[in-house]
Each structure stands twice: as structure tokens, then as C-alpha cells.
Structure 1
């Protein structure tokens, strides 16, 4: 993969909750990717922020090596806790703090090759995508302080229309297993931008991230 394939700047998607067959808008996310220099090292910095009426606001910042996206550091803030870790060779170190003032140190040995779980979709989007392509990685999940397998499969392609301007977007459809959670990504073939994502949280509960007023061509 090559991070140079990814669009830099800020993208934003609406957040919807599908529950019991009813879909409602519950918030918005902002996803910013920049190439930055830190102490002479070229890094990809991702700032991922959500406002969500159901699950509360979140703010995640990840630093990865440019252009191969190997993890360097991760900060995460949520409604009740925050996590800060740094990747150092074969381990990750840092701490978790809560709004109650509790601080728990984090020190964990990692496999030789590991991905930051918050960056796996970037690895997928930074790849040369073709139908049938399979990608997998052992990933560190900072929020849970655990290691899990994440995988993705390009299952085909579709066309979506932006109702705001009627533009047709050709996308790759990617089925992802995110540590047991089923997720689908729709990735713009031309720009490698993510235009839509679904995550199945429970049999009857799905969270949807989407550009406004998207409709699939052909139903």
C-alpha cells in the first residue's frame, strides 16, 4: 500500500442509526488526513472526530509512518475515558485515564507486524484495489488494549449517485471483519475516498456513515 493514493484534507460524513428497521440521523463525523513532519520523520496524521447523539462525542488522533502507514502513536478521547499510547519496536506503552481520575498504565508486547486498528481502513484504501483482493492484519485496538485479526475482501463494484449534484461515483465494495464486527466500505475508485460505511453492532442495529443524499444506481 502507499499513503500517497489517499486524498489529504478533511472529509465529513453524516452518521445514521438503523434500529428495528427505522433509520435516523444521529450525528456527523470529520476525518482529516495530513502528511506532517515530526522530529525529521514524515508521518501521516489522522484526526477523526465524531458528534453522536447516541454514543457521545469521540476524538481519535493517530500518527503513522509515511507512506507505509506503520503505526507510531494513538490518542483517543471518549465520553468517559481517554487512551494515549506510543508504538516502540515490539511493544506499545501508554496509559488509560477516566473522568473519575483513574489512570491505568498500558504495556503490551506486540507481534512483529501490527497495525493500529483505527488505521486499517486507510491501509485498505491505500492499496491497489481489485475484485477478489483480500487483506488482513493483526491489529492493536487501543480502546480495548487488545490485539485482534482484521480482514477485508473486495467483493465487487457499484455506482452511487450524489443527489446534491447528480454526479455518478464508481466505487469498490469491501466487506470487512473488524475483530468480529461486520462492516462494509464503499470506496471511490478515482480518489480512494470513503463515501459510505456500515457497521453491524447487533442483529437489528447498524450504524451508517454516509455522504449526504447518496443513492445507489440501479436500486
Structure 2
């Protein structure tokens, strides 16, 4: 085995950031967290990991891959740092502007970069299966039903839209329905209906750690790759 992947965790005080740090400490992947970045860190060192304020980003030590779950206003400086240092970037930050997405596309010409709305490995496989089904089942109805906890605001979910985009690539025109109930982590049902028969593809997440594990999986596979806009399914 080679040297551990040196990770920068950006947005480290958020829910995903904390999960990433915990899983790395538990040895979930062969990685070493060299720095954690948050808006205003409460401590300078936590469990041996040095913490930096967002305003100190330029001073972080050398890293192979930045894993980013932050806010749109913090995304630009991190992208610039990755380009400057020729480091890979894995990001799940949502709410990016068109200008930021354009900047990502330009950066992909210089560094390996992966942005995803959902880092579940199962969802990555679901997207591929949906595209294949849509291609094969020409003319069938396509419906996507997504269910999440009561506190989730956006509907349809970003994952549902990503799965719907896969259906569109296969030639289907998906319809969406959203349910908000209890503490559901995330469920996505894709239903193809023809005359007298129906095909259902379902993914259920029962633990939010699946998203952090997927992001770490992507980071471990992205180091050393050629520059480009990578997809999670490319790294399975």
C-alpha cells in the first residue's frame, strides 16, 4: 500500500465535516487528515488534527485532496487554493451559483474534481440503472417518489433531480412526487410503468454516514487521477 491520502476537511464543524473527521479517526479509509477548516474553530488542535479558520486557508499544510461540505461563500477560495496547489477536490456544497459552476468547469481542466449532490455509492449505481432502464423501456411512464425527514425544505430533492437527469439521458421524461415525514434519512423510488407491467428501482439510506463514507471513498480514489470533472460512478 502507498502512503495515506492527505486530506483537507473543509467545512469541518458542520454535520458532514464532523462525520468525515470521525470516520477518518476510526480508520474508515487509508487517509490522514492534515487540516480541518471551519469559519471560527473553537480549538486549534482536536484529536491531533490542526484546525484553521476560513480566513487562514492559505496557510494550511500540503494536502492531496480537499473534501468540502461548506457554504457557497466559502467555496471560491477553496477552489482557488486547489488550483494553485494542483490538489484534487471532492465537494458536496450545494447552492452554488452559475458563476461558481463555471469556475468548477474551468478548474476541471487543471485538477481532478468531483461534485455530487449525493455521495451514497448506492445512489451512484441507481443513477446508472435508471439510465439503462429508461433507454430500454422506450415510451414507458417514469415517476420518481422521494421521501425525507420533515425538516428538509427543498423538493424535489437534489438526489431526485440527479436521478431524473439520468432518466432523461435515457430518453424518459420523469415526473416527481415528494414526501416529508418523520425522521426519514432518504428514500428514492423510480417507477417505470408500461401496459400491464411495472419496474421499480429503490434506494433507501438508513444512516447518514453513508454519505461521508462515499465522499471518503471518492477522495481515496481521486488522488493521482488526471484532471477532469469526475463522477462518483466513475470511481466505484
Same fold (TM over 0.5): no
Higher relative contact order (CA 8 A, sep 6+): 2
Q: Which has the larger radius of gyration?
A: 2
TM-score band by shorter chain is under 0.3
- Give the number of the structure whose residues are more often helix, by fraction: 2
- Give the number of the structure whose residues are more often strand, by fraction: 1
TM-score (norm 2): 0.25
TM-score (norm 1): 0.26
